[in-house]
Amino acid sequence: MVSRAQKHFCPQLSTKPHSRTGHTVFVTGAAGFIGAHASVALKRRGDGVVGLDNFNQYYDITLKKSRLSKLLDRAGVFVVEGDINDGVLLRKLFGLVQFTHVLHLAAQAGVRYAMVNPNSYIRSNIDGFVNLLEVVKSSIAQPAIISASSSSVYGLNSKVPFSEKDRTDQPASLYAATKKAGEEIAHAYNHIYSLSITGLRFFTVYGPWGRPDMAYFFFTKDILNRKQISIFEGPNHGTIARDFTYIDDIVNGCLSAIDTAKKSTGTGGKKKGEAQFRIINLGNTSPVSVHKLVNILEKLLKVKEKKVVLMPRNGVVPITHANISLARVELGYKRTVDLEMGLKKFVKWYLDYYDAKKNSSW
Ligand SMILES: NC(=O)c1ccc[n+]([C@@H]2O[C@H](COP(=O)([O-])OP(=O)(O)OC[C@H]3O[C@@H](n4cnc5c(N)ncnc54)[C@H](O)[C@@H]3O)[C@@H](O)[C@H]2O)c1
Ligand SMILES: O=C(O)[C@H]1O[C@H](OP(=O)(O)OP(=O)(O)OC[C@H]2O[C@@H](n3ccc(=O)[nH]c3=O)[C@H](O)[C@@H]2O)[C@H](O)[C@@H](O)[C@H]1O
Protein backbone atom coordinates (compact mmCIF):
# COMPACT_ATOMS: atom_id res chain seq x y z
CA MET A 1 0.00 0.00 0.00
CA VAL A 2 1.17 3.51 -0.74
CA SER A 3 1.17 5.83 2.28
CA ARG A 4 0.03 9.45 2.20
CA ALA A 5 3.63 10.56 2.65
CA GLN A 6 4.72 8.39 -0.27
CA LYS A 7 1.95 9.74 -2.50
CA HIS A 8 3.06 13.26 -1.67
CA PHE A 9 6.57 12.40 -2.77
CA CYS A 10 6.92 12.34 -6.58
CA PRO A 11 3.26 12.82 -7.49
CA GLN A 12 3.94 12.16 -11.21
CA LEU A 13 5.47 8.77 -10.47
CA SER A 14 3.06 5.94 -11.07
CA THR A 15 3.51 3.14 -8.54
CA LYS A 16 2.99 0.73 -11.41
CA PRO A 17 4.80 2.26 -14.42
CA HIS A 18 3.01 0.80 -17.42
CA SER A 19 4.69 -2.43 -18.54
CA ARG A 20 3.60 -4.69 -21.40
CA THR A 21 6.56 -7.04 -20.94
CA GLY A 22 6.43 -7.71 -17.22
CA HIS A 23 9.67 -5.74 -16.78
CA THR A 24 9.84 -2.60 -14.68
CA VAL A 25 13.33 -1.16 -14.96
CA PHE A 26 15.05 1.43 -12.75
CA VAL A 27 17.63 3.20 -14.94
CA THR A 28 20.32 5.18 -13.10
CA GLY A 29 22.13 7.85 -15.14
CA ALA A 30 19.00 8.13 -17.32
CA ALA A 31 19.83 11.64 -18.58
CA GLY A 32 23.31 10.49 -19.63
CA PHE A 33 24.33 9.44 -23.14
CA ILE A 34 23.75 5.68 -22.84
CA GLY A 35 21.04 6.02 -20.17
CA ALA A 36 18.80 8.23 -22.33
CA HIS A 37 19.05 5.93 -25.36
CA ALA A 38 18.53 2.78 -23.28
CA SER A 39 15.55 4.24 -21.37
CA VAL A 40 13.81 5.24 -24.60
CA ALA A 41 14.44 1.81 -26.18
CA LEU A 42 13.07 0.03 -23.08
CA LYS A 43 9.98 2.24 -23.00
CA ARG A 44 9.36 1.80 -26.75
CA ARG A 45 9.30 -1.98 -26.49
CA GLY A 46 6.84 -1.84 -23.59
CA ASP A 47 8.93 -2.10 -20.41
CA GLY A 48 7.99 0.07 -17.45
CA VAL A 49 10.82 2.57 -16.89
CA VAL A 50 11.72 4.97 -14.08
CA GLY A 51 14.94 6.97 -14.48
CA LEU A 52 17.20 8.69 -11.96
CA ASP A 53 19.92 11.26 -12.61
CA ASN A 54 21.63 13.93 -10.53
CA PHE A 55 22.16 16.18 -13.60
CA ASN A 56 25.70 16.99 -12.48
CA GLN A 57 27.89 19.59 -14.20
CA TYR A 58 30.65 17.26 -15.46
CA TYR A 59 29.70 18.30 -18.99
CA ASP A 60 27.26 20.73 -20.58
CA ILE A 61 24.08 20.37 -18.53
CA THR A 62 21.94 21.81 -21.34
CA LEU A 63 22.73 18.66 -23.32
CA LYS A 64 21.40 16.50 -20.44
CA LYS A 65 18.30 18.71 -20.23
CA SER A 66 17.83 18.41 -24.00
CA ARG A 67 18.04 14.61 -23.79
CA LEU A 68 15.33 14.89 -21.14
CA SER A 69 12.99 17.08 -23.18
CA LYS A 70 13.69 15.72 -26.68
CA LEU A 71 14.13 12.00 -25.95
CA LEU A 72 12.91 10.98 -22.50
CA ASP A 73 9.83 13.20 -22.05
CA ARG A 74 8.69 12.49 -25.58
CA ALA A 75 8.92 8.74 -25.01
CA GLY A 76 7.09 9.06 -21.69
CA VAL A 77 10.05 8.14 -19.44
CA PHE A 78 9.72 9.68 -15.97
CA VAL A 79 13.09 10.79 -14.56
CA VAL A 80 13.61 11.59 -10.87
CA GLU A 81 16.29 14.19 -10.16
CA GLY A 82 18.42 12.64 -7.44
CA ASP A 83 21.67 11.00 -6.46
CA ILE A 84 22.48 7.29 -6.05
CA ASN A 85 24.13 8.27 -2.76
CA ASP A 86 20.75 9.38 -1.40
CA GLY A 87 19.62 6.24 0.42
CA VAL A 88 16.41 7.82 1.70
CA LEU A 89 15.32 8.70 -1.84
CA LEU A 90 16.24 5.26 -3.22
CA ARG A 91 14.40 3.44 -0.43
CA LYS A 92 11.31 5.54 -1.10
CA LEU A 93 11.44 4.75 -4.81
CA PHE A 94 11.96 1.03 -4.19
CA GLY A 95 9.11 1.14 -1.67
CA LEU A 96 6.77 2.72 -4.21
CA VAL A 97 7.65 0.64 -7.28
CA GLN A 98 8.45 -3.08 -7.45
CA PHE A 99 11.33 -2.99 -9.91
CA THR A 100 12.21 -6.22 -11.71
CA HIS A 101 15.56 -4.89 -13.00
CA VAL A 102 18.08 -2.13 -12.34
CA LEU A 103 20.09 -0.85 -15.31
CA HIS A 104 22.91 0.94 -13.50
CA LEU A 105 24.60 3.48 -15.76
CA ALA A 106 25.15 6.42 -13.37
CA ALA A 107 28.86 7.02 -12.91
CA GLN A 108 31.63 9.54 -13.06
CA ALA A 109 32.85 8.64 -16.55
CA GLY A 110 35.93 9.84 -18.45
CA VAL A 111 39.52 8.65 -18.20
CA ARG A 112 41.37 11.98 -18.11
CA TYR A 113 39.12 13.89 -15.64
CA ALA A 114 40.18 11.41 -12.93
CA MET A 115 43.45 13.35 -12.68
CA VAL A 116 41.49 16.57 -12.09
CA ASN A 117 38.77 15.42 -9.68
CA PRO A 118 39.62 11.97 -8.30
CA ASN A 119 37.09 12.12 -5.45
CA SER A 120 34.13 12.37 -7.81
CA TYR A 121 35.02 8.84 -9.07
CA ILE A 122 35.08 7.43 -5.55
CA ARG A 123 31.81 9.15 -4.68
CA SER A 124 29.73 7.97 -7.66
CA ASN A 125 31.47 4.77 -8.81
CA ILE A 126 32.19 3.23 -5.40
CA ASP A 127 30.18 4.92 -2.60
CA GLY A 128 27.11 5.42 -4.81
CA PHE A 129 27.23 1.87 -6.18
CA VAL A 130 27.47 0.35 -2.69
CA ASN A 131 24.55 2.54 -1.58
CA LEU A 132 22.45 1.30 -4.52
CA LEU A 133 23.36 -2.35 -3.82
CA GLU A 134 22.39 -1.92 -0.15
CA VAL A 135 18.96 -0.64 -1.19
CA VAL A 136 18.46 -3.44 -3.74
CA LYS A 137 19.55 -6.02 -1.18
CA SER A 138 17.02 -4.75 1.38
CA SER A 139 14.13 -4.35 -1.08
CA ILE A 140 11.33 -6.90 -1.23
CA ALA A 141 11.68 -7.66 -4.96
CA GLN A 142 15.51 -7.69 -5.13
CA PRO A 143 15.66 -6.83 -8.83
CA ALA A 144 18.39 -8.24 -11.06
CA ILE A 145 21.16 -5.68 -11.68
CA ILE A 146 22.80 -4.91 -15.01
CA SER A 147 25.73 -2.59 -14.35
CA ALA A 148 28.03 -0.66 -16.69
CA SER A 149 31.69 -1.55 -16.53
CA SER A 150 34.38 -0.52 -18.98
CA SER A 151 37.01 -1.75 -21.43
CA SER A 152 39.43 0.35 -19.38
CA VAL A 153 39.60 -2.46 -16.77
CA TYR A 154 41.94 -4.36 -19.15
CA GLY A 155 44.50 -1.64 -18.37
CA LEU A 156 48.05 -2.56 -19.24
CA ASN A 157 47.06 -6.03 -20.48
CA SER A 158 48.55 -6.10 -24.00
CA LYS A 159 47.09 -9.41 -25.21
CA VAL A 160 44.37 -8.59 -27.75
CA PRO A 161 41.52 -9.13 -28.34
CA PHE A 162 40.51 -8.75 -24.70
CA SER A 163 38.53 -11.65 -23.38
CA GLU A 164 36.69 -11.69 -20.08
CA LYS A 165 39.15 -14.21 -18.62
CA ASP A 166 42.16 -11.94 -19.22
CA ARG A 167 43.85 -10.20 -16.32
CA THR A 168 42.34 -6.92 -15.16
CA ASP A 169 44.53 -6.13 -12.18
CA GLN A 170 46.68 -3.46 -13.81
CA PRO A 171 44.47 -0.37 -14.31
CA ALA A 172 46.09 2.61 -16.06
CA SER A 173 43.73 5.24 -14.61
CA LEU A 174 41.74 5.89 -11.45
CA TYR A 175 38.56 5.68 -13.57
CA ALA A 176 39.53 2.13 -14.59
CA ALA A 177 40.40 1.26 -10.98
CA THR A 178 36.93 2.36 -9.79
CA LYS A 179 35.22 0.41 -12.59
CA LYS A 180 37.20 -2.69 -11.65
CA ALA A 181 36.34 -2.09 -7.98
CA GLY A 182 32.67 -1.95 -9.03
CA GLU A 183 32.95 -5.42 -10.57
CA GLU A 184 34.56 -6.83 -7.44
CA ILE A 185 31.99 -5.18 -5.16
CA ALA A 186 29.21 -6.63 -7.35
CA HIS A 187 30.77 -10.08 -6.99
CA ALA A 188 30.76 -9.76 -3.20
CA TYR A 189 27.05 -8.79 -3.14
CA ASN A 190 26.27 -11.68 -5.47
CA HIS A 191 28.19 -14.07 -3.23
CA ILE A 192 26.84 -12.90 0.13
CA TYR A 193 23.28 -11.83 -0.71
CA SER A 194 22.53 -13.92 -3.83
CA LEU A 195 21.81 -10.87 -5.97
CA SER A 196 21.75 -11.51 -9.71
CA ILE A 197 24.33 -9.23 -11.33
CA THR A 198 25.60 -8.70 -14.89
CA GLY A 199 28.59 -6.41 -15.51
CA LEU A 200 28.82 -5.13 -19.08
CA ARG A 201 32.24 -3.91 -20.24
CA PHE A 202 31.45 -1.23 -22.83
CA PHE A 203 34.13 -0.27 -25.39
CA THR A 204 34.39 3.48 -26.28
CA VAL A 205 30.75 4.17 -27.14
CA TYR A 206 29.84 6.93 -29.62
CA GLY A 207 26.80 8.28 -31.45
CA PRO A 208 24.10 10.98 -31.53
CA TRP A 209 23.42 12.71 -28.19
CA GLY A 210 26.92 11.57 -27.12
CA ARG A 211 29.31 12.88 -24.49
CA PRO A 212 31.11 16.20 -25.23
CA ASP A 213 34.15 15.11 -23.19
CA MET A 214 34.88 12.26 -25.60
CA ALA A 215 37.40 12.65 -28.42
CA TYR A 216 35.08 12.04 -31.43
CA PHE A 217 32.72 14.74 -30.07
CA PHE A 218 35.21 17.54 -29.34
CA PHE A 219 37.33 16.68 -32.42
CA THR A 220 34.19 17.44 -34.49
CA LYS A 221 33.83 20.83 -32.81
CA ASP A 222 37.55 21.60 -33.20
CA ILE A 223 37.67 20.53 -36.88
CA LEU A 224 34.69 22.79 -37.66
CA ASN A 225 36.38 25.68 -35.81
CA ARG A 226 39.71 24.97 -37.59
CA LYS A 227 41.29 24.44 -34.19
CA GLN A 228 44.34 22.35 -33.58
CA ILE A 229 43.77 18.71 -32.64
CA SER A 230 46.14 16.80 -30.36
CA ILE A 231 46.44 13.11 -31.02
CA PHE A 232 48.03 11.20 -28.19
CA GLU A 233 50.92 8.89 -28.93
CA GLY A 234 51.21 5.54 -27.25
CA PRO A 235 54.38 4.13 -25.68
CA ASN A 236 57.46 4.39 -27.97
CA HIS A 237 55.60 6.80 -30.30
CA GLY A 238 53.12 4.06 -31.20
CA THR A 239 49.67 4.63 -32.65
CA ILE A 240 46.64 4.48 -30.38
CA ALA A 241 43.51 2.63 -31.47
CA ARG A 242 40.05 2.15 -29.96
CA ASP A 243 37.30 -0.39 -30.51
CA PHE A 244 34.70 2.37 -31.12
CA THR A 245 31.20 0.91 -30.61
CA TYR A 246 27.98 2.46 -31.88
CA ILE A 247 25.32 3.38 -29.31
CA ASP A 248 22.53 1.24 -30.85
CA ASP A 249 24.63 -1.91 -30.51
CA ILE A 250 25.34 -1.11 -26.85
CA VAL A 251 21.65 -0.46 -26.19
CA ASN A 252 20.70 -3.79 -27.79
CA GLY A 253 23.29 -5.50 -25.59
CA CYS A 254 21.80 -3.86 -22.47
CA LEU A 255 18.26 -4.93 -23.42
CA SER A 256 19.39 -8.53 -24.05
CA ALA A 257 21.19 -8.54 -20.70
CA ILE A 258 17.90 -7.54 -19.05
CA ASP A 259 16.01 -10.26 -20.94
CA THR A 260 18.50 -12.99 -20.03
CA ALA A 261 19.06 -11.93 -16.42
CA LYS A 262 18.02 -14.54 -13.89
CA LYS A 263 16.15 -13.66 -10.72
CA SER A 264 18.09 -12.97 -7.54
CA THR A 265 17.81 -16.08 -5.41
CA GLY A 266 17.83 -14.43 -1.99
CA THR A 267 14.30 -13.11 -2.63
CA GLY A 268 11.31 -13.36 -0.33
CA GLY A 269 12.81 -15.23 2.59
CA LYS A 270 13.42 -18.32 0.45
CA LYS A 271 16.61 -20.24 1.01
CA LYS A 272 19.47 -18.50 -0.73
CA GLY A 273 20.79 -20.16 -3.85
CA GLU A 274 23.50 -19.52 -6.38
CA ALA A 275 22.52 -16.35 -8.17
CA GLN A 276 23.76 -15.34 -11.60
CA PHE A 277 27.03 -13.40 -11.90
CA ARG A 278 28.27 -12.50 -15.37
CA ILE A 279 30.89 -10.16 -16.85
CA ILE A 280 30.48 -9.60 -20.59
CA ASN A 281 32.34 -7.47 -23.17
CA LEU A 282 30.23 -5.29 -25.48
CA GLY A 283 32.48 -3.97 -28.24
CA ASN A 284 32.88 -3.74 -31.99
CA THR A 285 35.86 -6.15 -32.48
CA SER A 286 37.35 -3.77 -35.00
CA PRO A 287 39.84 -1.28 -33.53
CA VAL A 288 40.47 1.91 -35.50
CA SER A 289 43.36 4.31 -34.96
CA VAL A 290 42.66 7.81 -33.65
CA HIS A 291 44.31 9.16 -36.86
CA LYS A 292 41.73 7.29 -38.94
CA LEU A 293 38.93 8.61 -36.70
CA VAL A 294 40.11 12.17 -37.44
CA ASN A 295 40.36 11.42 -41.20
CA ILE A 296 36.77 10.10 -41.32
CA LEU A 297 35.49 13.15 -39.43
CA GLU A 298 37.34 15.54 -41.77
CA LYS A 299 35.84 13.79 -44.79
CA LEU A 300 32.31 13.94 -43.35
CA LEU A 301 32.70 17.58 -42.29
CA LYS A 302 34.34 18.47 -45.62
CA VAL A 303 37.22 20.22 -43.88
CA LYS A 304 40.55 19.53 -45.50
CA GLU A 305 43.17 21.47 -43.57
CA LYS A 306 44.53 19.13 -41.02
CA LYS A 307 45.96 20.76 -37.90
CA VAL A 308 47.15 17.86 -35.87
CA VAL A 309 49.92 17.74 -33.31
CA LEU A 310 51.19 14.60 -31.68
CA MET A 311 51.37 14.59 -27.92
CA PRO A 312 52.91 11.95 -25.71
CA ARG A 313 50.57 10.94 -22.93
CA ASN A 314 51.33 8.87 -19.87
CA GLY A 315 48.89 6.19 -18.80
CA VAL A 316 47.05 5.95 -22.12
CA VAL A 317 46.15 2.39 -23.06
CA PRO A 318 47.54 1.79 -26.59
CA ILE A 319 44.72 -0.36 -27.95
CA THR A 320 41.32 -1.71 -26.97
CA HIS A 321 39.82 -4.64 -28.85
CA ALA A 322 36.87 -6.70 -27.63
CA ASN A 323 36.45 -10.43 -27.98
CA ILE A 324 32.64 -10.65 -28.16
CA SER A 325 32.23 -14.44 -28.27
CA LEU A 326 30.65 -14.55 -24.81
CA ALA A 327 28.27 -11.69 -25.69
CA ARG A 328 27.20 -13.64 -28.80
CA VAL A 329 26.44 -16.75 -26.78
CA GLU A 330 24.90 -15.12 -23.68
CA LEU A 331 23.09 -12.20 -25.29
CA GLY A 332 22.83 -12.99 -29.02
CA TYR A 333 24.85 -9.77 -29.38
CA LYS A 334 26.12 -8.59 -32.73
CA ARG A 335 27.62 -5.31 -33.84
CA THR A 336 25.70 -3.82 -36.74
CA VAL A 337 27.24 -0.40 -37.40
CA ASP A 338 30.82 0.29 -38.52
CA LEU A 339 32.70 3.47 -37.61
CA GLU A 340 32.15 5.30 -40.94
CA MET A 341 28.39 4.67 -40.85
CA GLY A 342 28.11 5.49 -37.14
CA LEU A 343 30.10 8.74 -37.45
CA LYS A 344 27.90 9.77 -40.38
CA LYS A 345 24.86 9.48 -38.09
CA PHE A 346 26.70 11.32 -35.31
CA VAL A 347 27.81 14.21 -37.57
CA LYS A 348 24.28 14.63 -38.94
CA TRP A 349 22.90 14.81 -35.39
CA TYR A 350 25.70 17.18 -34.29
CA LEU A 351 25.09 19.67 -37.11
CA ASP A 352 21.29 19.59 -36.64
CA TYR A 353 21.53 19.94 -32.86
CA TYR A 354 23.92 22.90 -32.78
CA ASP A 355 22.21 24.55 -35.73
CA ALA A 356 18.85 24.34 -33.97
CA LYS A 357 20.39 25.70 -30.77
CA LYS A 358 22.01 28.59 -32.66
CA ASN A 359 18.66 29.53 -34.18
CA SER A 360 17.01 29.17 -30.75
CA SER A 361 14.44 26.85 -32.21
CA TRP A 362 14.87 24.49 -29.21
N1 LIG B 1 30.45 6.15 -23.17
C2 LIG B 1 31.44 5.28 -23.13
O3 LIG B 1 32.28 5.21 -24.03
C4 LIG B 1 31.54 4.30 -21.99
C5 LIG B 1 32.48 3.28 -22.12
C6 LIG B 1 32.60 2.36 -21.08
C7 LIG B 1 31.79 2.45 -19.96
N8 LIG B 1 30.90 3.46 -19.86
C9 LIG B 1 30.05 3.52 -18.67
O10 LIG B 1 28.70 3.56 -19.08
C11 LIG B 1 27.93 4.32 -18.16
C12 LIG B 1 27.20 5.43 -18.88
O13 LIG B 1 28.16 6.27 -19.51
P14 LIG B 1 27.75 7.50 -20.42
O15 LIG B 1 28.76 7.56 -21.51
O16 LIG B 1 26.31 7.48 -20.72
O17 LIG B 1 28.09 8.68 -19.40
P18 LIG B 1 27.25 9.99 -19.00
O19 LIG B 1 28.15 10.80 -18.14
O20 LIG B 1 26.66 10.61 -20.19
O21 LIG B 1 26.07 9.37 -18.12
C22 LIG B 1 26.15 9.16 -16.73
C23 LIG B 1 24.97 9.89 -16.08
O24 LIG B 1 24.98 9.58 -14.70
C25 LIG B 1 24.69 10.75 -13.96
N26 LIG B 1 25.33 10.58 -12.66
C27 LIG B 1 26.66 10.61 -12.37
N28 LIG B 1 26.85 10.41 -11.06
C29 LIG B 1 25.62 10.26 -10.50
C30 LIG B 1 25.16 10.03 -9.19
N31 LIG B 1 26.02 9.96 -8.15
N32 LIG B 1 23.83 9.90 -8.97
C33 LIG B 1 22.95 10.01 -9.99
N34 LIG B 1 23.34 10.24 -11.27
C35 LIG B 1 24.65 10.35 -11.52
C36 LIG B 1 25.26 11.90 -14.76
O37 LIG B 1 24.58 13.12 -14.52
C38 LIG B 1 25.05 11.42 -16.20
O39 LIG B 1 23.88 11.94 -16.76
C40 LIG B 1 28.92 4.80 -17.10
O41 LIG B 1 28.88 3.88 -16.03
C42 LIG B 1 30.27 4.74 -17.80
O43 LIG B 1 31.33 4.57 -16.89
C44 LIG B 1 30.75 4.39 -20.85
O1 LIG C 1 35.84 2.19 -23.34
C2 LIG C 1 35.98 2.67 -22.21
O3 LIG C 1 36.00 1.96 -21.24
C4 LIG C 1 36.23 4.13 -22.05
O5 LIG C 1 35.78 4.76 -23.25
C6 LIG C 1 36.01 6.13 -23.26
O7 LIG C 1 37.39 6.41 -22.98
P8 LIG C 1 38.44 6.59 -24.18
O9 LIG C 1 38.59 5.37 -24.98
O10 LIG C 1 39.66 7.19 -23.56
O11 LIG C 1 37.65 7.61 -25.10
P12 LIG C 1 37.96 9.09 -25.54
O13 LIG C 1 38.15 9.95 -24.37
O14 LIG C 1 36.92 9.47 -26.52
O15 LIG C 1 39.33 8.92 -26.31
C16 LIG C 1 39.42 8.09 -27.49
C17 LIG C 1 40.83 8.06 -27.97
O18 LIG C 1 41.24 9.35 -28.38
C19 LIG C 1 42.52 9.65 -27.82
N20 LIG C 1 42.57 11.09 -27.58
C21 LIG C 1 41.71 11.66 -26.69
C22 LIG C 1 41.72 13.02 -26.50
C23 LIG C 1 42.65 13.82 -27.22
O24 LIG C 1 42.70 15.06 -27.10
N25 LIG C 1 43.50 13.20 -28.09
C26 LIG C 1 43.49 11.86 -28.30
O27 LIG C 1 44.27 11.33 -29.10
C28 LIG C 1 42.63 8.81 -26.56
O29 LIG C 1 43.95 8.47 -26.30
C30 LIG C 1 41.81 7.60 -26.93
O31 LIG C 1 42.65 6.67 -27.54
C32 LIG C 1 35.11 6.79 -22.23
O33 LIG C 1 35.37 8.19 -22.18
C34 LIG C 1 35.34 6.26 -20.87
O35 LIG C 1 34.23 6.67 -20.07
C36 LIG C 1 35.61 4.77 -20.81
O37 LIG C 1 34.53 4.10 -20.30
The interface predicted TM-score of the complex, written ipTM, equals: 0.98
In the chain, the largest separation of any two C-alpha atoms, in whole Å, equals 67
204 lines ligand 2 (CB under 6 A): yes
Atom 8 in ligand 2: which residue has the minimum CA distance? Answer: 204
Question: What digits encode the pLDDT tens for the residues 341-357?
Answer: 999 999 999 999 998 88
284 lines ligand 2 (CB under 6 A): no
| Residue 180: closest CA among 145, 150, 200, 147 | 150
Report the C-alpha gap between 330 and 148 in whole angstroms.
16
Question: What digits encode the pLDDT tens for the residues 42-71?
Answer: 999 999 999 999 999 999 999 999 999 999
Residue 154 annotated to the active site: no
**First and final CA of the chain: distance in angstroms?**
41
How remote is the CA of residue 193 from the centroid of ligand 1, in Å?
26
Question: What digits encode the pLDDT tens for the residues 82-135?
Answer: 999 999 999 999 999 999 999 999 999 999 999 999 999 999 999 999 999 999
What is the distance of C-alpha 10 from the center of its chain? 25
124 lines ligand 1 (CB under 6 A): yes
Question: What digits encode the pLDDT tens for the residues 223-257?
Answer: 999 998 999 987 777 889 999 999 999 999 999 99
